[in-house]
A and B are shown apart, each in its own frame.
Chain A
Amino acid sequence: MRRVFAQMRKELTQIERDRLALVLALVLPLLLMMLLGNAVSLTVTGLPIVVQDLDDTLASRDFIDAFRASLTFHIVSWPPSRQPVDAFLTNTARAALVIPEHFGRDMARGRNTEVQLLIDATDANTAKLVQGYADQVVSNYRPAPAPVKADIRLWFNPGRDSKKFYGPGVFVMGISMFPALLAALAMSKEGEQKTILQVYVSSISAHEFLLGKIFAFALIAMAEWFLSLILLFTYFGLHFAGDPSVFIVSTILYAFCVAAFGSLVGAAIPSQAASIQAIQLGGFLLIFLLSGLIFPVQNIPASLRWISGILWGRYYIEIVRDALLQGGGWLAMWFNVFMIALIGAVFYGLGWKKLRRMQLSI
């Protein structure tokens, strides 16, 4: 155990002397969170639409005002002589509202009037949102008496604030990327500069060496977690939704898992440039895209879903969102905690195997 701590102290001293590494570990994740947590989202507001008002009466203008007043749409001017579809070809608008002639007359007569909404469906998700929002605007314009009233309640995030959903996701991305990167760089540097030979001739065992490295970078991950958590609580306006013990236990396991991943990459690839690429793939691309950060995991076809099943970040994202928004606690999340521990153990085992073999061969 003493040797583990000595190894850990050596790593931390090395990082402390490396300015770039410190910035990487503690400042960049926060910057990334501020930047992406706010910007990466699927829920759109302020969508440009054009209106073609063929009626041009008081009633039609009143109807257009209902759209103008909504936060989701903003109306761009468009000459009535041009086809509204042209606005899609030049990317000026996402939707076009066409109000027919006699709109005002029919409304005054108490007849139902039809209007058309043309939606640019290049982006299918946004198209669906546009349809839903426009429906709401229209049905609130002159509500028809309905035999049943629907009370739709949005739970856990009633304002539909997407920052609260994506913030925790980007937080997980930062914590998966930077400690792993530092760990991989430190490990592959030993291989690249051949200082690993000094380790082999010393009396330290593969277990002690690896644990020392992992603990050092897990500690950095925890420091990063703490700083990011402050940001989540202040800037993103989140708070613990229930029992925080799951979150804390899983964070400790996750810090170990991430550091073990980095050390494994560094041990397997003794070139710093190549290990950066490996981390970029594992830490960024896969976690960013296949862990449910933006795109739900359930939508991935079953033949590819196993990739998400072995992605450590996916389980942690679910835990963080649960802890900060839903508050499902241990009952809901025990499996995720177990999977993080399992994946961390596998990384550790592989890293140990790699190092032990190298030690014997020399």
Chain B
Amino acid sequence: MTRIGTLIKKEFGQIRRDKRLLISLIIPPTIQLLLFGFALNATVDHLRMGVVDFDHTIQSRDLIAAMTESRAFRLANTYFSADQIGQALARSELEAGMVIPYNFGRDMERGRQPDVQILLNAVNANTAAIAQGYAARLLQNWIQVYSQQGGVHAQYRPIAANDVSRQGHVLMHPAFLFNPGLVTSWFIVTGSFGVLLILNGSMIASAALVKEREAGTVEQLLMTPAGTGEIIVAKIAPLFLLLCVMSLFATALIKVVFGVPFRGSFVLVLAGAMLCVLSGIGIGTFIATFTKSAQQAQLLAFFVNPPLASLSGALTPVEAMPQWMQPLTALNPIRHFGIITRSVLLKGSGFSAVWPHMLALAAFTSVLLTLSVMRFRKQLG
């Protein structure tokens, strides 16, 4: 124990003198968390809509007003032909277009069911899917309001309809749980938390382990009575502590700046964060066993990290990945930590709901660290 204690003291002394490491542990993660939380937003609103109104009646103007006064669409321009709208869509001046035909108002009053054409730029599939929903609902609402207005209106009904064949309709009431205001940043921030822990953990750990080898001081360490396992543990312990402080800091940011509700147990999130930090360190040490210099370690991290970060469900939903790829995300620690933070913070899940993910993180860490120790022993022995 004293041996490990001395080694840990040595590592702490080294880190204390390394101002750059301390700064790099606090400043970049803070900036990244703030930047991602504020900037990344998939909300679809204020889509620019161009309108061609061939009808120019009260009804058509009323419909245009109903469609464009919402936050979903805003009236960008009016055009004189459908071709012009098509060109404007191709030039990305519009995201949506609406064409109201001649005799729209007259047909409505006669109960004839006129068509309204709505064009959406579907290059971005996500925007298109959401905008389609908006357009359909806005039109539905308008129809409801319109048919309840005073005055004489023809009620549209198929000719064959009579009371015998009349059927009921299903009215669906959606309720958004856990995040009724649909704040996007809650999703992004809780996801990027794990990305930051893993990326920084792996980077710092691999740098610390490779440094000794690069400087040639690894032989001196081996001459001491300490074993490989002890050396690695001593290396990891101070990094672990520092990263834990960083994750506390990040949690405070999440709470104070982004106002994410803390519905579950804070201790549970912290325990998850510790396990996540350990898996990050595990990845770093594992990378370090394959490399001889800081440059190689960085290069390897360059190829491990982007796929790890982007295939984790931290920033995009896992369900959007191809079917065969989804089970593979079980091997990604960022995914597990993301589930833990979101379930505990936003939904208030307890330990019984998230323990499999805790276990996965723990297993991940122990496998990687054991492998690293084994590989180091072989290389150094």
Query: Which positions in A face B, CB cutoff 8 Å?
Result: 28, 32, 35-36, 38-47, 63, 85, 88-91, 94, 106-129, 131-136, 138-139, 141-142, 144-158, 160-162, 164-165, 181, 242, 272-273, 276-277, 279-280, 284-285, 288-290, 294-296, 298-301, 304, 307, 318, 321-322, 325-328, 331-332
CB proximity of B293 to chain A, nearest CB, Å: 8
Contact check, B92 vs A322: say whether CB atoms are below 8 A apart: yes
B130 at the interface (CB under 8 A from A): yes
Residues of A within 8 A of B186 (CB): 122, 124
Contact check, B173 vs A122: say whether CB atoms are below 8 A apart: no
B343 at the interface (CB under 8 A from A): yes
Query: Which of B5-13, B37-45, B237-245, B278-286 is found at the contact surface with chain A?
Result: B37-45
Residues of B within 8 A of A109 (CB): 168
Contact check, A41 vs B123: say whether CB atoms are below 8 A apart: no
Contact check, B320 vs A41: say whether CB atoms are below 8 A apart: yes
Query: Which positions in B face A, CB cutoff 8 Å?
Result: 32, 35-36, 38-44, 46, 63, 86, 89-93, 108, 111, 113-130, 132-137, 139-140, 143, 146-147, 155-158, 161, 163, 166-180, 182-184, 186-187, 293-295, 297-299, 302-303, 305-307, 310-311, 315-317, 319-323, 325, 339, 342-343, 346-350, 353
Contact check, B168 vs A295: say whether CB atoms are below 8 A apart: no
Residues of B within 8 A of A162 (CB): 125-126, 320
Contact check, B322 vs A160: say whether CB atoms are below 8 A apart: no
A145 to B166, CA, bound (A): 11
User: Provided the pairs A88-B177, A118-B175, A126-B319 are in contact, do residues A148 and B187 lie with their beta carbons within 8 angstroms?
Assistant: no
Residues of B within 8 A of A148 (CB): 63, 108, 113-116, 139, 143
Contact check, B175 vs A145: say whether CB atoms are below 8 A apart: no
Contact check, B177 vs A46: say whether CB atoms are below 8 A apart: no
Which of chain B's residues has its CB closest to A322's CB? B92
Contact check, A273 vs B120: say whether CB atoms are below 8 A apart: no
CB proximity of A93 to chain B, nearest CB, Å: 11
Contacts A125-B126, A162-B126, A332-B92 supplied; 17 other A-B pairs, CB < 8 Å: A36-B307, A113-B168, A122-B187, A124-B186, A125-B184, A127-B179, A131-B133, A138-B170, A139-B140, A149-B115, A151-B117, A165-B125, A288-B306, A299-B42, A300-B40, A301-B39, A327-B90
In-complex Cβ contact of A289 among B39, B117, B143, B166 (8 A): B39
In-complex Cβ contact of B130 among A129, A242, A288 (8 A): A129
Sorted nearest first, the 10 A-B pairs with minimum C-beta distance are A132-B133, A154-B122, A121-B176, A121-B179, A332-B91, A299-B41, A124-B182, A42-B126, A162-B125, A147-B156
Which of chain A's residues has its CB closest to B191's CB? A123
Residues of A within 8 A of B133 (CB): 128-129, 131-133, 135-136
Contact check, B322 vs A39: say whether CB atoms are below 8 A apart: yes
Contact check, A156 vs B184: say whether CB atoms are below 8 A apart: no
A294 to B157, CA, bound (A): 44
Residues of A within 8 A of B89 (CB): 155-156, 326
User: Provided the pairs A43-B126, A331-B91 are in contact, do residues A273 and B294 lie with their beta carbons within 8 angstroms?
Assistant: yes
Contact check, A114 vs B175: say whether CB atoms are below 8 A apart: no
Contact check, B125 vs A119: say whether CB atoms are below 8 A apart: no
User: Provided the pairs A124-B187, A151-B115, A300-B41 are in contact, do residues A276 and B170 lie with their beta carbons within 8 angstroms?
Assistant: no
Residues of A within 8 A of B172 (CB): 114-117, 134-135, 138
Contact check, B90 vs A328: say whether CB atoms are below 8 A apart: yes
Residues of A within 8 A of B125 (CB): 41-43, 157, 160-162, 164-165
Pairs A–B under 8 Å by Cβ, sample size 11 = A38-B325, A39-B311, A88-B178, A125-B42, A127-B179, A136-B133, A146-B140, A152-B118, A156-B122, A162-B320, A289-B315
Interface core residue of A47, A108, A157 (most chain B CB under 10 Å): A157
Contact check, A111 vs B168: say whether CB atoms are below 8 A apart: yes
Contact check, B321 vs A39: say whether CB atoms are below 8 A apart: yes
A109 to B36, CA, bound (A): 53
Contact check, A125 vs B136: say whether CB atoms are below 8 A apart: no
In-complex Cβ contact of B176 among A127, A146, A150 (8 A): A127
User: Provided the pairs A121-B176, A148-B139, A277-B298 are in contact, do residues A294 and B316 lie with their beta carbons within 8 angstroms?
Assistant: yes
A69 to B348, CA, bound (A): 32
